[in-house]
């Protein structure tokens, strides 16, 4: 899996979207920031913690801008680059947009990694951008203590197709497009306890572009979209609930998990980020009595390049889910409903 005896993951204290600051810490950091100037063209800013910023140029075109980067979640440098790039592109797709250009963000510990390893990271990222049909048009690099890679991405969208994490409506159904368990797999990988088959499954999921978001946004019965990343299914579901002022009910038996996620979680392969996530937003979640701690950890498991959480008209849910599956997302599942009520997430 690695081109040298030195493991990339050994150079980082955390990896993938598990590196994200906990939601509670992020709220504290942003609490005293000055309010954004009231620009009429800024359709989406920081107000609901959405996936990307959106600026409306005219009545036909919006520009979507985002940035995402993290430390290695795997040791193979090319795989690391591919995962990081797919994760960054996901923010544009989650807003309903189509990426047009990326800039690379690179921080590497000079003297610890051979040039060839860093080159493979960049090649991996460029290969995912090529698959998305866009160039890596530039970037910036620094000498850093830990390896860091990601992208700043620009995309386009028509104003009517912008989809936010605040768009869910009472009566909607919830669809999740990818399986949960990337954080659990990464924890097992770091301890050399992940099988080759599970590793291949993890790479397949994390490098699968969320391009279906651009297609979904053209459907008027799709009301809200967000991608499930570092805050886990519960955290990003809670953003959807709070953004729209609605109640989300998720049926745990319908949540798709990666093949070995439940077994590994029950065996103790859980990231520290899972606990930090729960500590940050557990007061906004209702769990069934007696839910095992390991199963709760799966629901807060940080997803690196995770799937899309989609709120759509209930009557269309199965046809939309089927379309998503046919587009290349075999684990796409209807996992719950949206209703009036206190903005919380309830697990049943």
Asked whether 147 and 11 are in contact (CB, 8 A), the reply is: yes
Q: Which tokens sit at 285?
A: 């979640």
Q: 157: how many CB neighbours lie within 10 A of its CB?
A: 24
Name residue 145's beta-bridge partners. Answer: none
What is the DSSP annotation of 170-216?
A: TTEEEEE-S-B-HHHHHHHHHTT---HHHHHHHHHHHTS--THHHHH
Dihedral pair phi/psi, residue 249, rounded to 5°: -115, 120
Which one, of 94, 114, 84, lies nearest residue 44 by Cα?
94
**Sheet containing 172-176: which strands, arranged edge to edge?**
222-227, 308-313, 172-176, 333-339, 247-250, 345-347, 285-286
Give me the active site residues, please.
Answer: 17
Cα-based distances in Å from 253 to 26, 207, 227, 240, 348: 31, 26, 20, 20, 8
* Strand, helix or coil for residue 74: coil
Q: Which tokens sit at 91?
A: 């923010």
């Amino acid at each position: 899996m690695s081109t040298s005896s030195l493991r990339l993951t050994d150079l980082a204290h955390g990896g993938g979207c598990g590196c994200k600051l906990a939601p509670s810490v992020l709220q504290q950091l942003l609490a005293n920031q000055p309010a954004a100037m009231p620009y009429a063209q800024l359709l989406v800013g920081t107000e609901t913690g959405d996936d990307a910023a959106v600026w409306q140029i005219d009545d036909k075109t919006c520009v979507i801008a985002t940035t995402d980067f993290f430390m290695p979640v795997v040791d193979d440098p090319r795989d690391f680059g591919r995962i990081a790039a797919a994760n960054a592109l996901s923010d544009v797709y989650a807003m309903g947009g189509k990426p047009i250009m990326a800039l690379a963000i690179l921080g590497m510990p000079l003297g610890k990694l051979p040039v060839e390893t860093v080159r493979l990271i960049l090649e991996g990222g460029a290969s995912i951008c090529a698959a998305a049909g866009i160039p890596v048009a530039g970037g910036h690099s620094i000498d850093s203590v830990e390896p860091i890679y990601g992208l700043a991405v620009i995309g386009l969208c028509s104003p009517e197709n912008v989809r936010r994490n605040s768009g869910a409506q009472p009566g909607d159904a919830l669809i999740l497009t990818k399986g949960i368990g990337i954080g659990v797999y990464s924890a097992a990988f770091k301890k050399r306890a992940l099988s080759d088959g599970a590793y291949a499954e993890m790479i397949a999921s994390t490098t699968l572009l969320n391009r279906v978001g651009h297609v979904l946004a053209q459907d008027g019965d799709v009301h809200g979209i967000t991608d499930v990343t570092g805050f886990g299914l519960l955290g990003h579901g809670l953003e959807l609930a709070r953004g729209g002022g609605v109640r989300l009910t998720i049926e745990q038996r319908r949540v798709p998990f990666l093949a070995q996620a439940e077994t590994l979680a029950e065996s103790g392969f859980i990231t520290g980020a899972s606990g930090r996530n729960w500590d940050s937003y557990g007061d906004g979640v209702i769990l069934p009595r007696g839910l095992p701690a390991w199963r709760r950890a799966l629901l807060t498991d940080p997803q690196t390049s995770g799937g899309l959480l989609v709120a759509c008209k209930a009557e269309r849910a199965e046809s939309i889910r089927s379309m998503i599956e046919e587009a290349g997302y075999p684990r796409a599942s209807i996992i719950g409903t949206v209703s009036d009520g206190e903005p919380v997430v309830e697990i049943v």
